[in-house]
Chain A
Amino acid sequence: MKHDYIDRYSKLESPVHSLDPRAKAIALFALIVICVTTPPRAWWAFCVYAGVVLIIAAASRVPVSYLLSRVLVVLPFILMVAVFIPFMHKGGTSYDLGPFAVSSEGLLVLWNVAIKSTISVSCLILLSSTTPFPDLMHGLERLHVPSFFTTVAAFMYRYIFVIVDEAQRMKRACESRNFRGRWIWQARTVGYMVASLFLRSHDRAERVYQAMCARGFDGTFPLQRESSMRAADYVFMSVVVLIVLTGRLAVLWK
């Protein structure tokens, strides 16, 4: 069965792709942290952040439509909650919209959530679509992210499709016997499917662990090869952090 890659476009060739994963991770995480700590009325600072994200995106040659589609997958969840805030929040001037009243304070909160989440999510999507997933994990490992997290993520990357395949096979087998999970009384069957998927995954985990032990696994993952960052990586990192920091500090001086 064919599926989408999690890190599609991560093997393109571009200036951004060729950077060390560590440089990209540090620069983009710095951008996220600086962005979320900026006061919401600092309009110009957000323009600077968005500008940096757009420039990196353009340099990476990843299709804009792909980046947008990914951002749109994550954002609705955040906005669904935030969109009610202007109606609930009291404070500031309020505008009448028929039966509802919208407060300006509330609107500011909505803007705050929307812009910060958009920029943060875009950064993460840029990071994951310009770095092959395994490289990203090794990069994070070298940045001393606990290997527990990177290992779990690496296993997820490896097995998510195996589990999706298994679920699809099971669904087809059910449908071939005229099952359509549509009615509430069919929930029981769906429950069985989920349960058996869990059991199968559990058994598989056991077998994978045995296969690891068979090759001498003793509880610690052997280290990967070392690689060192080049000048270009340091330049990229410093330029991004400097520009973003300038935007952030300019707000303070005003």
Chain B
Amino acid sequence: MIGLDTREAIRIESLSYHYHDGTPALEDVNLTVRRGESIAVMGPNGAGKSTMALHLNGILSGEGRVEIMGLEVCGKNLSEIRSMVGLVFQDPDDQLFCPTVREDVSFGPRNQKLTQELVDQAVSRALTWVGMEGSEDRSPHHMSFGEKKRISLATVLSMDPEILVLDEPATNLDPKGRRELIELVRGFEVTKVIISHDTGMTRELCDRLIIIDDGRIVADGHTDELLSDSRLLELHGLL
């Protein structure tokens, strides 16, 4: 690891991605995120936000280069990359696929080949963190949406990630659930990438905002500044 600049959590260099049918989803995306930084990603539906997120841990791979904590995202580094990047999907029913909460939260640590004792510790730590301790033996399909969201977070927190990528974390939550989620996420002292349409949450959690439209980064700057530029927001369908 000598010679790598570890102050950079994420570095994306001229990343492009095309769907199977050739439609471009990302075009020449460049982005650098420092360690500990929280950035928000906004953009109209289908702009490529989630597609970009899926490149951060190598689920998708396009042309260009993606580095996480100085490590290139490629075949031989995948398991290390996926331990460092905790990606929480938008729909908790996609994220939670096990019959019980315990199995879901321990899925990541068990894939990291930790010992049973460490797995148990990771599970209870993650569940306590999201305020769901004691729900190990419940089934996700009998939980409320807000509870499922919390468990989804716990499933990646149990892997002790360096970078947290949240895809629409507050969507469909009621105001109380949304508020609790914001407080919860604020408490995580890791690098955060938050994809959201929720300007209030974006302002509260992220100093930096990037706007993606049509597969390109069209704005990158201070959250308050960009959000007060109504011409910019309107131009990209965010107002």
Chain A residues packing against B (C-beta within 8 Å): 5, 132-134, 137, 154-155, 157-159, 161-162, 204, 207-208, 210-218, 222-225
Contact = CB atoms under 8 A, between A and B. Distances in A.
Chain B: number of interface residues, binned into ranges: 35 or more
B97 A155 contact: yes
Interface in B154-189: 155-156, 159
Contacts of B59: 210, 213-214
A214 B78 CA distance: 9
B66 interface: no
B82 A213 contact: yes
Contacts of A159: 93, 97
Contact of B94 (A133, A211, A217): A211
B54 A210 contact: yes
B30 interface: no
B140 interface: yes
Given A158-B99, A158-B141, A208-B97, A222 B57 contact: no
A99 B219 CA distance: 86
* A-B interface, 10 closest residue pairs, ranked by CB to CB distance from nearest: A222-B110, A216-B111, A134-B99, A215-B108, A207-B94, A214-B87, A216-B82, A161-B141, A211-B95, A210-B59
B207 interface: no
Contacts of A137: 99
Given A218-B79, A225-B116, A211 B97 contact: yes
B17 interface: no
B75 to A, nearest CB: 12
26 contacts: A154-B98, A154-B99, A155-B97, A157-B99, A158-B96, A158-B140, A158-B141, A204-B93, A208-B97, A210-B59, A211-B87, A212-B97, A214-B57, A214-B86, A214-B87, A215-B82, A215-B108, A215-B111, A215-B155, A215-B159, A216-B108, A217-B107, A218-B79, A222-B107, A222-B111, A225-B116
